[in-house]
Structure 1
Amino acid sequence: MRPDPSLADLPLRPELIGEEPYGAPQLAVDVQLNVNENPFAPSAEIAADMAATLTAAATAFNRYPDREAKRLRCALARYLGHGLDLDNVWAANGSNEVMTHILGAFAGPGRTLLAFTPTYSMYPEYARNTHTRYVTAPRHPDFTLDADLVLAAIAEHDADVVIITTPNNPTGTPTPLSVTEAVLQGTDAIVVIDEAYQEFSKHPENTALTLLPSYGNLIVSRTMSKAFALAGGRVGYLAAAPAIVDACRIVRLPYHLSSQTQLVAEVALRHADHLLGQVDQLRRTRDEMLVRLPQLGVEVIDSDANFCLFGPFADRHDVWQRLLDRGVLVRETGPQGWLRVSVGTPDETEAFYAALAEVLKEVR
């Protein structure tokens, strides 16, 4: 083989040929509203706490981290409440790694993962990378789900693992607890409720965590990237029956969560009240966005997340580019013709409104 091979020269797995790495554009623009990050940086107090904590621990960085992340898992259990403890919680490098642990334990060759479209674009990649068959069923036209639709799809595809994303990405649509419970009553498949945006919902207390005591096949997945403004920290976690946590422990790589990551996450959890106060502000901005976007002349899907899906456009890429030309980056994702915008700071959000108003005058 030549010394500078191309991908085509390498003996890739067949299913990887022609594939490209996942990634939303990371562009240096003034207003970045494309990946649902929390726009508020850690406060000076939180940043100082993180720095002091890491400095104090630095002399032990020659040692491996706690491979069970026990202190972090205990802190996450306290945050979640609902009677959860260490044995009910698992943590990993973002909800991405959480999902690969779930599929590594319960999916794989000869097994099937079911999701409901439109939904998070990484699910098929998790399936591909774990040699899992990936199938989908369409949501209702208003992007909602009901138990009959879900259970029919489970039966049709003989699904082993089912993902219900609520609030859904990219639409922001919630799935009622009554639907989740009816699905759990009707299947023995592993049911993953992906609550990455739950803290932003209009009623965050309506969480599938309340169903955990009754259903051993339920997994509730969350992340610290959004509500806790810790996207750079890479911490995701799940809550489930202890046996499911043990299954994830079997497939995780040793020392998968660095000491630094665990410590920074613990600091963020110590400041949960402040950080969730910022979530309240973002929720109010989201609710205002649901009103302002129709006033500008576009449709918007009712959202329980920290983003809104808006459109439709005859040429959404053209609208995306025109916004980018004005220094505003949104996401070209979801159903054809629609764009997704993350909730930003007040200044960022106003800049988005102004840019969109100009673009709409040009394209309509």
Structure 2
Amino acid sequence: MSAAFPPLRQELQGIEPYGAPQLSLEQAPVQLNVNENPYGPSPEAAADIARSVAEAAASLNRYPDREFVELRSALAAYLDTSGGTGITPDMVWAANGSNEVMLQLLQAFGGPGRVALSFAPTYSMYPEYARDTMTEWVAGHRAEDFSLDLDAARDLVLERRPSVVLLPSPNNPTGTALPPEAVTMLCEAAASYEPGGLVVVDEAYGEFRRAGTSSALELLPRHRNLVVTRTMSKAFAAAGLRLGYLAADPAICDAIRVVRLPYHLSSVTQATALAALRHAPELLGRVDDLRAERDATVTWLREQGFEVADSDANFVLFGRFADRHAVWQGLVERGVLIRETGPDGWLRVSVGTPEEMTAFKKALTDVTKEQA
């Protein structure tokens, strides 16, 4: 008998690659499935990005700055003005999307004989980072309202002694934010055993949080084992840029440098990100509009009788459906693409423009009437 080809690792055989369903604009003109910002950059911002890329192109025969010093300085300045307390460039690390940031964290701090831990439902890529780095994956469970049972969470951390705890805030797919006391409790628990563990608070949607919801950036001075990750894909309206970053103790950033690939951030990526940061007020200018649209969507869904998770993100999780796939398919047939994800019976819709949300509401009303 011939061996299977190619000789893929056994635990990867038969696994489908990660990815949300992709449909063309002709198939689904209203695309509300991957939590993008529906408002692109202005012509002025796009022109500045283009100029910056053109300047970088003139030296593409040379490798980029592998320490991306200028970009780290710009990201530190942005974080320090948006909730940080004294964040400096040596506390910042960046990579090709927050996905690569997370993978690098697991490469550096996970591995065989180590544990990564989170609480379900949570971001579906986390167990894949663990799998790819041969780190044991452990998932606790959230309460019925998707909050954390703090005592149960602490007990699980103390029992399993993870090297990395992954905590999205706001959580994906539920939109649930963590209170600061939860972050502090888990940081203290993860520091109480040898050699200790990191607590990674994934704030990919942090800029969308409601007034009064704090950022874990504020806790960095108190917890040396705390890592806060962000992305430019969501609030910055730069999903096509693929730039994620973190803030942490400088020793954590230095450790990641051991596992990063050489020159992992291209000159073009660095130039584009720097230009986008120069236009931060404009690119972030529609965040308030998206928050208002999100809250209006939550209210409308509840008025229709759906269960809806409280959201601090730019998406809303709602249910419950006896056959959620049939509802999802019915929306697609009406030109609206949302995400079939999260606990059984629930669906997730990204917040779009007012026109897109009107189309979503009409399509959902028609589908639910048809299936009643």
Interval of TM-score (by shorter of Structure 1 and Structure 2):
over 0.9
Matches for 1:1-364 after TM superposition, within 5 Å: 8-28=4-24, 29-81=28-80, 82-188=85-191, 189-203=197-211, 206-364=214-372
Q: Which runs of 5+ in 2 are unaligned?
A: 192-196
The TM-score with structure 1 as length reference comes to 0.96
1:272-320 superposed Cα distances (whole Å, 9 cap, x missing partner): 1112221111111101111011223322111110000011000000000
Q: Aligned with 1:339: secondary structure? A: strand
Q: 1:103 to 1:204 in 2, by over 3 A?
A: farther
Cα distance between partner residues in 1 of 2:62 and 2:354: 43
Contact 2:158 2:189 in 1 (8 A): no
Contact 2:157 2:186 in 1 (8 A): no
Tell me by how many angstroms 1:204 deviates: 7.1
The TM-score with structure 2 as length reference comes to 0.94
CA RMSD of aligned residues (A): 1.4
Tell me by how many angstroms 1:27 deviates: 0.5
Contact 1:167 1:305 in 2 (8 A): yes
Amino acid at match of 1:150: A
Contact 1:212 1:218 in 2 (8 A): yes
Tell me by how many angstroms 1:186 deviates: 2.4
Percent pairwise identity: 59
Tell me by how many angstroms 1:268 deviates: 1.1
Contact 2:157 2:189 in 1 (8 A): no
Cα distance between partner residues in 1 of 2:60 and 2:279: 24
Q: Aligned with 1:42: secondary structure? A: coil
Cα distance between partner residues in 1 of 2:45 and 2:124: 32
Q: Which runs of 5+ in 1 are unaligned?
A: none
1:235-256 superposed Cα distances (whole Å, 9 cap, x missing partner): 0000000000001111100010
Structure with more helix by fraction: 1
Contact 1:198 1:204 in 2 (8 A): no
Cα distance between partner residues in 2 of 1:175 and 1:328: 31
Amino acid at match of 1:15: E
Q: 1:71 to 1:205 in 2, by over 3 A?
A: farther
Tell me by how many angstroms 1:187 deviates: 2.2
Cα distance between partner residues in 1 of 2:188 and 2:131: 29
Cα distance between partner residues in 2 of 1:310 and 1:329: 15
Tell me by how many angstroms 1:41 deviates: 1.2
Amino acid at match of 1:344: G
Runs of 4+ residues deviating >3 angstroms: none
1:117-154 superposed Cα distances (whole Å, 9 cap, x missing partner): 00000001100111110010000111001431221111
Cα distance between partner residues in 1 of 2:87 and 2:212: 17
1:165-219 superposed Cα distances (whole Å, 9 cap, x missing partner): 1100000011101111122122221100011111000037611111111211110
Amino acid at match of 1:71: E
Cα distance between partner residues in 2 of 1:363 and 1:68: 56
Contact 2:162 2:190 in 1 (8 A): no
